[in-house]
Amino acid sequence: MSISKPSNTEQLKWWETAVIYQIYPRSFQDSNDDGIGDLPGITSRLEYIANLGVDAIWISPFFKSPQKDFGYDVSDYRDINPEYGTLDDFDRLLARTHELDMKLMLDIVPAHCSDQHAWFIESRQSRDNDKADWFHWVDPKPDGSPPTNWLSFFGGSAWTWEPFRQQYYLHNFLESQPNLNHANPDVQEAYRDVARFWFDRGVDGFRLDAVHTINADTAPYRNNEANREFKFGELPREQQPFFMQLHDSAQLNQPAIQSFSESFRSVADQYDDRYLMGELHGDDPIKASETFTSPGRLHATYNFNLLEWDGLDVDGIKKAITNAISAFNGTGRLSFAFSNHDVPRSATRMLAPLGLKEDQQQALQLLLLKLESCLIGSTCIYQGEELALQDVRDIPIELMQDPWGIEFAPTFLGRDTCRTPMAWRGKASNGDFSKANKTWLPVSEQHLSRAALDEAAKPDSIYNAFAAFLSWRKKQSALMHANSMTEITGGASQIVFDRISESQTLRCSFDFESLAATFEEV
């Protein structure tokens, strides 16, 4: 692995070294006691986040939506779903975020919208209306079957029949999430308008959801090739027919997607210091990341290498980091994460075979937080990671909310396990998340013993240890003023690398046996 010449301080943008705190708004803080988190609730807890020492917050979608996929099915990109608040509430949240010297990023969904969006409602009515070709409408095969073998991430065909048009429409996720046709320039202009709307309000950037699932190639649509290496195994990945196919051959990461990346970036470049981070995956994630971050496209990609559903051992973490930085050393074009709203919490799945006791699990979680915030590029911390929260595996099936989990329960529990509401005070009703009799997902009893404000008040908590580390991190030139690192070395239970700037070489050592991190100038 080559080491690029360290960047000068003035050349680095805020996002190249940022620690970004992800908020799942439905589960963060309820301000009006309806059992659902909202924007005023986030505003009320911003000091907790700022005191941790992060640089930015990223908020999962709160736009108008029927909530079939909890905000990732948008019916209006320029307004707030009433259960989350109003545009005035958002403006107050943004202003307070900036007062606390943090940036604010929104989670935009460009590949698909809700079937209740005005665009789709009009498009599905006929083949000759103004929005007729805003989505992927395709005639059936002569035998009436769908046009390709494409499958949905959530199970079943990626094509659904629409009797009004007597055609199939494409959806890579739920059938209520139709994929937009980004080969249509009017669709791309609509998204440029969305970007301008939020940038004009002062938003600092976007996390672009599942950009690899944008469909922009035009007909004829080709079948996916078979994944010859597929073997049935553990849930969720290896028991889904979806993964029996290679998707980059046709369905995903289509070359024409980059016209969207360039279009959206052209708007961001009209504003000062805005950031575009694309979530993507694929048969070859590194190749896809290089494509999406070519000049004039996205600033960085949200990297999946450390988000393996079943977790990773030390060797797996080494390989994941090595593969991720192989093409990006010397740049800030990667964003790392160990957890998010779509996978089990890192405190549950990472290095699970170690069989650690509770205090050791907290030490391991702190070690992982330090590790990812010492890598090149930015870091995304999911709410609750700073508390070493575990996944919640005892949600009754009748209380589950995630459509993916409901589809495959009880053998697969979906994503509710990492989305339960935050507990703020252990002795308060519902952990002080809400005074409602019933919250949208139950507050976990196991989280009450590690409630956020209680932990923030303890000098020896993981919250305060990580806050102290982030404060120290901001003073290290090798971590803040350059994005260069050496190859990973170390024994079977160690991860060791040097971070390098013009004025400092810092050896970062992470020992998964002693669960300690050390840093030495060399």
Report pLDDT digits (tens) over 168-188: 999 999 999 999 999 999 999
CB 431 within 8 A of CB 29: no
Beta-bridge partner residues of 495: 510
pLDDT, tens digit (0-9, with 9 covering 90-100), for 26-62? 999 999 999 999 999 999 999 999 999 999 999 999 9
H-helix segments, 202-304: 258-268, 285-292
CB 258 within 8 A of CB 291: yes
Residue range 262-281: mean pLDDT, rounded: 97
The active-site residue, picked from 89, 107, 209, 386, is: 209
In the chain, how long is the greatest CA-to-CA distance? Answer: 69
Residue 235 has pLDDT above 80, yes or no: no
pLDDT for the residue 232:
77
Place of tokens 């917050």: 57
pLDDT, tens digit (0-9, with 9 covering 90-100), for 95-126? 999 999 999 999 999 999 999 999 999 999 99
Amino acid code (one letter) for 398: E
Token readout for 89 is 């509430």
pLDDT for the residue 231:
80
CA distance 170 to 149: 12
CA distance 336 to 318: 13
CA distance 379 to 275: 14
pLDDT for the residue 8:
45
The active-site residue, picked from 55, 107, 279, 385, is: 279
Residue 128 has pLDDT above 60, yes or no: yes
- Look up 209 and say whether it is catalytic: yes
CB 376 within 8 A of CB 484: yes
CB 176 within 8 A of CB 66: yes
Closest CA to 271 of 186, 185, 203: 203
CA distance 490 to 485: 15
pLDDT, tens digit (0-9, with 9 covering 90-100), for 282-328? 888 889 999 999 999 999 999 888 998 889 999 999 999 999 998 99
Q: How many CB atoms lie within 10 A of CB 398?
A: 5
CB 488 within 8 A of CB 496: yes
Amino acid code (one letter) for 114: S
DSSP three-state, residue 506: strand
Q: What are the structural domains of the chain? A: 9-111+185-217+253-481 (3.20.20.80)
- 311 sits in the region (left: phi over 0; alpha: psi -120 to 50; else beta) called left
pLDDT, tens digit (0-9, with 9 covering 90-100), for 374-403? 999 999 999 999 999 999 999 999 999 999
CB 207 within 8 A of CB 275: no
- Look up 279 and say whether it is catalytic: yes
Q: In sequence order, what are the residues at sequence separation of 6 or more whose Cβ sits closer than 8 angstroms to the Cβ of residue 103?
A: 14, 15, 18, 55, 56, 57, 97, 204, 205, 275
CB 87 within 8 A of CB 80: yes
Place of tokens 């909202």: 38
